[in-house]
Amino acid sequence: MTSVARPGGAAWLRTRVSDPLVRPMLRELGDEYATRYGKDAHGEMARYPATEFEPPHGELLLLLEHGEPVAGGAFRRYDATTAELKRIWTHSAHRRRGLARRVVGELERIATVRGYRRVCLTTGPRQPEARGLYLAAGYTPLFDTDADPETIGPLPFEKALAGRGCSGGASTAAAAPVETSRFSPPAHQ
């Protein structure tokens, strides 16, 4: 585990799925998914081996305030140049403060340092807050944003990481369009 303190009592904690501080995140995410989608999501969330969210290919990150987790998320290797964001979470008592956006930004920063050139993710059709977050954070939707999300299923997004295009070259002011056919979203979020 690695913790980096920030002003105001906040700290980033790089950790593992087995860390007891991760339990509130997984429990609340599972409960929220179950409420929104009407099925037990805890099993779905456990379908990825914990090692996929560990260095060198992945990362699990918590944002702590006064030692308590208030937000978090992870990425795993999707392919050699792409990281897939998973489990972006903000504790229900701490929402509407921009914490998820901070988590996404920090995960993108770490992924860039690890050599990833692109980030992809899916979110569910009944998560308008997540859809709004990714659009505001510069992610490209790989679906028709005018369509009813319920008719689409999982909503895939992607983003070229700062300073690097999806083709691996440096970004320019007039970046080439992002290739959208490479990412096939998983069947479940």
Least confident span in 57-61, 74-78, 150-154: 150-154
Query: Which uninterrupted H or E stretch holds 12?
Result: strand 10-15
To which H or E segment does residue 28 belong?
helix 23-37
Q: Parallel, antiparallel, or unpaired for β 118-123 and 140-141?
A: unpaired
What per-residue confidence (pLDDT) applies to 186?
42
Which SS3 state, helix, strand or coil, does residue 10 take? strand
pLDDT tens-digit profile of 141-179? 999 999 999 999 999 999 999 754 443 333 322 222 223
Using CA atoms, how far apart are residues 26 and 87, in angstroms rounded to an integer?
Answer: 8
Radius of gyration of the chain (CA): 16
Q: What is the mean pLDDT of residues 111-133?
A: 96
| Entry pTM | 0.81
Q: State yes or no: pLDDT of 60 exceeds 80.
A: yes
In the block, tokens 């009407």 appear at 38
Alpha-helical runs (H) found in 90-162:
99-113, 128-136
Assigned token pair, 115: 């050599």
CA distance 133 to 104: 9
Domains of the chain by start residue, with CATH: 2-115 (3.40.630.30)
DSSP-based three-state secondary structure for 39: coil
CB count, 10 Å around CB of 177?
7
| Joined tokens for residue 139 | 């992610």
Q: Which residues contact 187 (CB under 8 A, 6 or more apart)?
A: 154
**What is the rounded CA–CA span in Å between residue 152 and residue 172?**
33
